[in-house]
């Protein structure tokens, strides 16, 4: 989608200082640590349906149908003879002709929402679930009332976030998880009210901090420039970043 390619360029320029292009080449990295949907086929037409990560949807994959197929399947009935002989032992076979599930839920006005099943009042979103009152989002699970969200999982009321998780009220953040009301932060976890911080954990109300220590604006910006240059170089060359907020600082496993 052309609009998402431009949004990805804008997002990476804002977060990393330079644009990354061709979002498709970063798709595997963007999917890491995100509970994305899986493909299935309609039991009626064979058309592609995207099933959300949640167990219920995955368990019903053999009997799913698309939203516009529900009316026809809803008119099917079992016969009188089948009803008279119905038991828990033969239910699987007896109900096969009527047992269908529709995972698709779409409400409100939407513009160019693709490869998604659950969404509403959203625009220019692709490959994800729970696009709710959001725009310019991709490879994400449940970006609610948010915009410019890529490769993220459960992000509410946030904007310009890349690879962020289970957080709310984030602005211009990269690899931030389980945090609230933070802006311009990189590799931070379980933090509240941080501004311009990097590599902070379980911290509150810090500014220009690295490793939970406030270092001042000048020193912070100097270190930030060096770190972001390294991140950009690796992403541009390798199309992924081995480090995430979940493994940064952890010993390598054999």
pTM for the model stands at 0.91
pLDDT tens per residue, range 205-251:
999 999 999 999 999 999 999 999 999 999 999 999 999 999 987 66
DSSP three-state, residue 84: helix
Q: Shortest CA distance to 66 belongs to which of 119, 117, 141, 127?
A: 117
* Domain residue limits, the chain: 2-36+124-238, 38-105
pLDDT tens per residue, range 162-220:
999 999 999 999 999 999 999 999 999 999 999 999 999 999 999 999 999 999 999 99
- The full DSSP string for 4-39 is HHHHHHHHHHHHHSS----GGGGHHHHHTT----EE
| DSSP single-letter state for residue 176 | E
pLDDT tens per residue, range 57-86:
999 999 999 989 988 887 888 788 888 788
Q: From residue 104, how far is each of 66, 67, 96, 109, 183 by CA, in Å?
A: 7, 6, 20, 15, 34
- The full DSSP string for 203-223 is -BS-EEEETTEE--HHHHHHH
* Tokens linked to 253: 């496993």
DSSP three-state, residue 248: coil
Q: Is 139 exposed, middle or buried (0-12, 13-18, 19+ CB in 10 A)?
A: buried
């Amino acid at each position: 989608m052309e609009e998402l390619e431009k949004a990805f360029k804008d997002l990476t320029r804002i977060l990393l200082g330079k644009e990354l292009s061709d979002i498709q080449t970063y798709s595997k990295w963007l999917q890491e640590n995100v509970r994305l949907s899986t493909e299935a086929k309609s039991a009626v037409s064979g058309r592609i349906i995207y099933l959300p990560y949640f167990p219920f949807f995955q368990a019903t994959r053999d009997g799913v149908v698309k939203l516009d197929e529900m009316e026809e399947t809803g008119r099917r009935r079992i016969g009188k003879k089948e009803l008279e002989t119905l038991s828990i032992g033969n239910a699987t076979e007896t109900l096969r002709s009527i047992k269908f599930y529709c995972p698709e839920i779409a409400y409100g006005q939407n513009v160019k929402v693709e490869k998604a099943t659950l969404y509403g009042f959203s625009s220019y979103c692709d490959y994800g679930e729970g696009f709710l009152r959001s725009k310019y989002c991709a490879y994400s699970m449940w970006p609610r009332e948010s915009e410019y969200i890529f490769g993220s999982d459960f992000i509410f009321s946030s904007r310009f976030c890349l690879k962020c998780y289970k957080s709310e009220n984030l602005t211009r953040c990269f690899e931030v998880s389980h945090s609230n009301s933070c802006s311009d932060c990189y590799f931070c976890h379980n933090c509240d009210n941080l501004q311009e911080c990097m590599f902070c954990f379980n911290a509150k109300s810090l500014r220009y901090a690295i490793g939970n220590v406030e270092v001042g604006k000048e020193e912070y910006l100097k270190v930030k420039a060096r770190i972001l240059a390294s991140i950009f170089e690796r992403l541009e060359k390798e199309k992924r970043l081995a480090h995430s907020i979940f493994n940064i600082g952890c010993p390598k496993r054999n």
